[in-house]
């Protein structure tokens, strides 16, 4: 694919052998991230990044208990999280793919899911949804201006990613 430009800082225009290709950069990057996370998760090889400064997050007392009870579940997704106090948790490690993500919001959302589902078995059944949520948080945001090199790199990754044309 050959880069032609962007519009509204969200859509990328490219050309390939079949004609014009319009790419929603967030959706494309989210699919790429999702497929990488899925493969890493299935192979038990989710790369993680220790945080130089651990992240303390205020949560409800029930969510703090859930974080403590489900440390292994978080670890499967690349998080080192522990209960810090009656109403807070501390995150010491995150999946490497989420270095630019809003980690505190993501952890709160996962804890809310745990609270709603009530068991890790339900979360296991919702594995793809959680990976999708993680991918969304780690993806290029709409209106973020990418350089031509970044756009081209995204296109190359799309070409190498299974189901990259699907959100």
Q: Residue-wise pLDDT tens for the chain (167 aa)? A: 655 555 555 676 766 677 776 767 777 777 777 778 778 777 877 778 999 999 999 999 999 999 999 998 888 878 899 999 999 999 999 887 677 678 888 888 888 888 887 655 544 544 666 677 777 776 665 556 667 677 777 777 777 777 656 56
Residue 49: beta bridge partners?
Answer: 94
How far apart are alpha carbons 90 and 93 in whole angstroms?
A: 9
Can you give the C-alpha Rg of the chain in angstroms? 18
Q: So what's the pLDDT on residue 125?
A: 46
Q: So what's the pLDDT on residue 123?
A: 43
User: What does the DSSP 8-state code read for residue 111?
Assistant: H
Q: How far apart are the two ends of the chain, measured CA to CA in Å?
A: 19
Q: What is the pTM of this model?
A: 0.56
Q: Of 166, 100, 89, 84, give the one whose Cα is nearest residue 134.
A: 100
Q: Give me the residue label for tokens 């990613």.
A: 161
Q: So what's the pLDDT on residue 4?
A: 53
Q: How many residues does the chain have?
A: 167
How far apart are alpha carbons 66 and 3 in whole angstroms?
A: 47
Residues in contact with 151: Cβ distance below 8 Å, sequence separation at least 6, in sequence order: 3, 6, 12, 14, 25
């Amino acid at each position: 694919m050959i880069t032609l430009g962007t519009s509204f800082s969200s859509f990328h225009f490219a050309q390939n052998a079949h004609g014009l290709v319009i790419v929603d950069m967030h959706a494309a990057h989210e699919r790429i991230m999702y497929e990488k996370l899925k493969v890493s998760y299935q192979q038990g090889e989710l790369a993680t990044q220790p945080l130089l400064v651990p992240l303390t997050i205020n949560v409800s007392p029930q969510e703090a208990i859930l974080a403590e009870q489900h440390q292994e579940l978080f670890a499967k997704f690349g998080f080192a999280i522990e209960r810090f106090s009656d109403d807070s948790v501390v995150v010491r490690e995150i999946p490497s793919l989420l270095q630019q993500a809003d980690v505190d919001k993501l952890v709160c959302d996962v804890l809310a899911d745990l609270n709603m589902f009530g068991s890790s078995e339900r979360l296991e059944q919702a594995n793809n949804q959680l990976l999708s949520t993680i991918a969304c948080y780690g993806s290029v945001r709409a209106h973020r201006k990418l350089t031509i090199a970044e756009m081209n790199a995204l296109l190359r990754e799309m070409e190498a990613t299974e189901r990259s044309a699907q959100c």
